[in-house]
Amino acid sequence: MQAKAIISNFASLKQTEIMSIERELNKRSGSKCELCGAEENLKIYQVLPTKKGGLDESILACSTCIDQIENPDNVDLNHWRCLNDSMWNENVAVQVVAWRMLSRMRAAEWPQELLDMMYLDEDTLAWAQATGEGEDDENKLVHRDSNGVILEHGDSVVLIKDLKVKGSSMVAKQGTAVRNIRLDHENAEYIEGKVDGQQIVIITQYVKKI
């Protein structure tokens, strides 16, 4: 089954570029989920945070894997025994997702054993750790919007007041949507996102998750 592109995850790319990524992912994976090997309900999954949002930052994954990646409460340990094989995938984006899922499940014995066997170079490890997986809960920064809702990498937010952008004459207007945000891993009150094509730092108390 051919993958169906998730266009909303690739807002910065043209439709022709998405279709090209789709073709290459199917070719690369043999039209199978690159995590569990499933052949049904395949989708392009963009591994956040991204720099360019292209093929090298995407994987082909089934709806079951994507649901459990995005919803920690739905994780089925037995499903992820597939990582015993896919953690060795030569594609970095697959390695990153495997590392994140093993880190999430590391309280169980076998995920920790697999995690101990993995080797990621410095840049790949930094990418894998960018979403906060692997950190102890007591040390993990939690970013919350103005309503106290937890914010994650890749979320979309809306500004709830006009914000003067420091160091420029730009004013980010109330009601502006900021998509694919990035979290500041040193300060729980800061996130980053693009407004009118400019990357800016935004204080979490002035945004609402959408």
What secondary structure does DSSP assign to 98-164, as a single string? Answer: HHHHHHHTTTSHHHHHHHHH----HHHHHHHHTT-TTS-TTT---EE-TTSPEE-TT--EEESS-EE
Residue 169 confidence (pLDDT): 80
Residue 58 pLDDT? 95
Q: Six-digit token pair at 85?
A: 């094989």
Q: Could you tell me the pTM of the whole model?
A: 0.65
* Cα distances (angstroms) measured from residue 189 to each of 3, 48, 57, 136, 185: 37, 20, 27, 19, 10
pLDDT at 166: 79
pLDDT at 142: 81
Domains and CATH numbers, the chain: 1-137 (no CATH), 141-209 (2.30.30.40)
Q: What is the pLDDT of residue 6?
A: 40
* DSSP state letter for 4: B
**Strand order across the 182-183 sheet:** 182-183, 190-195, 198-203
How many angstroms separate the CA atoms of 202 and 191, rounded? 5
Tens-binned pLDDT, residue by residue, of the chain (210 aa) = 444 434 334 555 567 888 899 999 999 999 999 999 999 999 999 998 887 778 999 999 999 999 999 888 899 999 999 999 999 999 999 999 999 999 999 889 999 999 999 999 999 999 999 887 766 555 567 888 999 888 887 789 999 999 888 777 888 899 999 988 888 877 889 998 888 888 889 999 999 998
pLDDT score at 4: 41
pLDDT confidence of residue 2: 41
**Which pLDDT score, from 0 to 100, does residue 78 have?**
95
